[in-house]
Amino acid sequence: MNVLVVGRGGREHSIIMKLSESTTVGELYVAPGNVGMESLATVVPIEETDSNSLIEFAKSNQIELTIIGPENPLMEGIANDFIAEGLRVFAPSKEAALIEGSKSFAKEFMEKYQISTAGYESFSDPVMAKHYVDKKGVPIVIKADGLAAGKGVVVAETKEMAYEAIDDMLVSKSFSEAGATVVVEDFLVGKEFSLMAFVNGEKVYPMIPARDHKRAFDYDEGPNTGGMGAYAPVPDIAAETVDFATSEILQKAASGMVAENRSFTGILYAGLIMTEEGPKVIEFNARFGDPETQVVLPLLKNDLLQVMLDVLDGEDPKLEWEDDFCIGVVMASVGYPADYQKGVVLPNITGDSFVIYAGVKNTEIGYVSDGGRVLLVGAKGSSLEATGRVVYESLPPNEMLDGFFYRTDIGKIKEGALG
């Protein structure tokens, strides 16, 4: 079966790695991909949002399934375009992807279908947004309504920080139209975790939970990023909590989308926080999370292609998981998530780890950086401690890196709590 994966980052590399294990995959293509994927798939130079060219490629190469990785083409309706041409695609429609594409829509949706989340208000007027901050107090969370590559969220610990974030989004338009509306929501206290599921209509098949680390520096210091590392499963999240989150959050969301005539097919991602009142939703995504995918898929026993085909056919994929842990640590360009230099030669990664590439390209001097998050180093093992040791022994020390950095605490224990 010929398969096309659309995307260029670490998430797509991880999907490619898992698909390459399948005995039923014939030709495997990725568009536009990156040089790190070339050993596993044929890299096709077509942009993620170029639906017409991707459809033409799929038809001319007898592609029987296309898998869409990133959020931007989903919001532009790539799944709708493929379906209209009679092509099979594993991805939600533009209408369903709005659950990620608009935070204000998602909050109103959760309110309507009684899905637990933080209290909030949406604003397009900076004065009104600041009045709301004055009324609610701090800490408080300011979010750009639209897609902002994981960077449109500010946890404001002071009113001044909140005002600055509001002005940045609504006045300076730092996120363009994505920040034309902001969602101001209550700050929730608890441990975060991510729960992804394969979904088709009202049928929901949850994966194992993962924990992503969004802040740039050790022990959750610094600005929010697209994710600096992750691990799975999460020992402090009980099986009962996962069951509750599946039934009361993911299932309610899937059923609600059907009721709204936005039936969801693909990967539904819930970013959750475990509060004293139980799990609450921080955000929904309409695709595999990055970097959670890089630590969840390596633990999946099933053939990923067969899982997706089963889900599309309305069949239970009967998911099975390895009884191990997986940790992934992102190596990023110095300066990320703000300005950073490109074109820096990648260091050698050694040891018993695997490497998933994201922001890289090939030049005369070898592989060089071409993005903020450059690569992820991962490993599997019987414990978090042992697995983390393998990962960190594979990475050069931070002080020896020129132009790159990584967090040193992914999956480690701090003050008796898992990081």
Residues 307, 341 within the same domain: no
Residues 206, 292 within the same domain: yes
The whole-angstrom separation of Cα 114 and Cα 267 is 21
Put residue 222 in one of left, alpha, beta given phi > 0 → left and psi -120 to 50 → alpha.
left
Residues 231, 257 within the same domain: yes
Q: Tell me, yes or no, whether 375 lies in a domain.
A: yes
Averaged pLDDT for residues 95-120 = 96
Q: Tell me, yes or no, whether 380 lies in a domain.
A: yes
Residues 287, 196 within the same domain: yes
Q: Supply the range of the domain harboring residue 237.
A: 191-312
The whole-angstrom separation of Cα 267 and Cα 308 is 10
- Name the domain boundary from 290, 312, 334: 312
Residues 305, 342 within the same domain: no
* Beta-bridge mates of residue 123: 182
Q: Tell me, yes or no, whether 283 lies in a domain.
A: yes
The whole-angstrom separation of Cα 286 and Cα 91 is 8
E-strand ranges in 8-43 read 28-32, 42-43
The whole-angstrom separation of Cα 282 and Cα 155 is 12
When pLDDT is cut at 50, 70 and 90, the band that residue 91 belongs to is very high
Residues 331, 383 within the same domain: yes
Arithmetic mean of pLDDT over the chain: 95
Residues 269, 212 within the same domain: yes
**pLDDT (tens digit per residue) in 400-415:** 999 999 999 999 855 3
Q: Tell me, yes or no, whether 35 lies in a domain.
A: yes
Q: Tell me, yes or no, whether 36 lies in a domain.
A: yes
Q: What is the dihedral of CA 256, 99, 295, 357, to 10 degrees?
A: 150
What predicted TM-score, i.e. pTM, was given to this entire model? 0.94
Q: Which of 145-159, 258-272, 344-358, 376-390 has the lowest mean pLDDT?
A: 145-159
Averaged pLDDT for residues 160-176 = 91
The whole-angstrom separation of Cα 69 and Cα 299 is 19
Strand order in the sheet with 278-285: 203-206, 191-200, 265-275, 278-285
Domains held by the chain: number: 4
Q: Report strand pairing: 182-186 vs 140-144.
A: antiparallel
Residues 210, 269 within the same domain: yes
